[in-house]
Structure 1
Amino acid sequence: MNESFLVYHEPVFRPPSEANSVILQVTHGCKWNQCTFCEMYTSKKYSVKPFSTITKEVRILSEIHPTAKRLFIGDGDLFSVEFPLILKVLECIKKGLPQINRISTYASTRTLSKFTSEQLQAINEAGLDLLYVGLESGDDNVLSLINKGTTAALQTEACLKAKNAGFKLSVMILSGLGGKVHTENHALNSAKLLNAIQPDLLALLVISFPFGYAHFQERTKAHFEPLSQLEMLKEMRLLLSNLNLKSTVFRSDHASNYLVFKGGLNRDKETFIQQLDDIIEHTIHVPSPHLNVRQHL
């Protein structure tokens, strides 16, 4: 076995729930890589691995992890790859790692929207089960501010098309992403988007500035005033109180979060809101987060 052939271009990024998954890197970096809030792939130049390399790495992974049950396909967005190659990669995984029972990947609504419903269904039937989608916001002004390259309407359309094709969706919203100016619309329109798509899982993260607030402000090229912790909690409450999700599992347990909530939004929503009310009532005003930056890509 030539393990030296298997090279992962670091740094490694994957959802927390994929911590124990095998990682097969099909692309390096993120093809879009223009979101002002995201520093994850700024150190990588986007490229797609040759299929011959992927097949060899699947063979090596089968020897290193013969009992692994889950596999995550990296890097930033598998759907930046052409449809035929995605099918070939999934077929290669099925043959080389037959014990895998769940395959997941990051996906953007911008690239998902370029695939037909029939193509998405074929990809799902070939073995890709779960899509991690960074929606970030349901407000068009915020999406424009962060240069997301999409709109709330397009995000809704892409997510519903993916769900109808059979995929499970784990989506992410970033608290505080609109700053003080857009906080209310960010919360209300994000709730509207989530209610429309009814994701299987919802993760609420908090915007942070791993390279400092000045660096973020320079990339954003627009005035942005971060929320205080108290304002962040109030925004979270506004979002939760406007959600009407039937069976969505909710998590706010990322390293960026001030509060850890885990539960089902159809069952635990009122409990979460009551806990937030109690905390908000006893929380004093603290400085904006950029004055005490957490390093947590």
Structure 2
Amino acid sequence: MALIEANDGLWFQEDLYADIAYSFRVSAVLHRETSAFQDILILATPMLGKVLALDGIVQCAQKDEAIYHEMLAHSGVFLRLALGTPETGLEVLVVGGGDGGVARECLKHDRVAGVTVVDIDPRVRETVLMHFPELPAGAYDDPRLTVVDTDAAGFVRGHWNRFDLIVADTPDPVGAAKPLFGREFVADCHVALKDGGVFVRHGGSLLLQTREFLDAREDVAAVFGTGRTRAGLLATCSYLGGWFTWLSAVKVAPYPQGEPGLRALRALFERAALDVRWYSPELQFAAGVLPAWCVDDQGLDMTRPQT
């Protein structure tokens, strides 16, 4: 991680890429440690509010974390509900996500019966609760939440037909997070899902991590089927890379799409009456309109009929 002293104060610099960097001014270092798995840094900044960085890479910022967390969580929950609600409610697995942001959003749904957060490093949760409690916002006090401090790849491999929704809220594919990428992990998630279950994950920067996005999309489509896989876009000011991608896929059931799919999401959204800053059904569908080269490559534009 890079904390740089300049003439006008302290700056954080992210060096995820070899040829381009991202930096912002730091008001205060709220917490800094090296855990058994990674470097953990929580900063106060004048522009972005509080910032969480792992191994020198920004994970989320107070100013815009809702964009990422709400889109991944609510798009997945509403997509699963559009296919029908189990009598016992939805069981959700969050892979990674020790900061509690995705769990917080999933737990806003009364049709979610339980959320399991599996993160290998308990220090992420512990330091966030101490120095950035606005992020989980009480999620860890919800009786529906279960926390498992273990290797998430191994945890997923040990479950079959268990979850209605799996959200892979993972860091970039470096260090301890490497096993949470690739086709084998996606296949294990497919097995862990019930029929009609939904898988959601981020796919990296469309422009600066193009190969990562294409590989992730190919892996998900190969496991779930091209016609049951969609890609979408979101943009935040705290991530360097312009448009960022996320992927969603449905096990066995048809993927809701077109005007009927949007109507279904609208009805569910109105019933849920969620307190959200960013998400809407219209935004979820609009996010799935991809650049021409993405559509031409594999035809995964969620607004187009799939075979």
Larger Rg: 1
Could you state the TM-score of these two structures normalised by the residue count of structure 1? 0.37
Of Structure 1 and Structure 2, the greater strand share is in: 2
Of Structure 1 and Structure 2, the greater helix share is in: 1
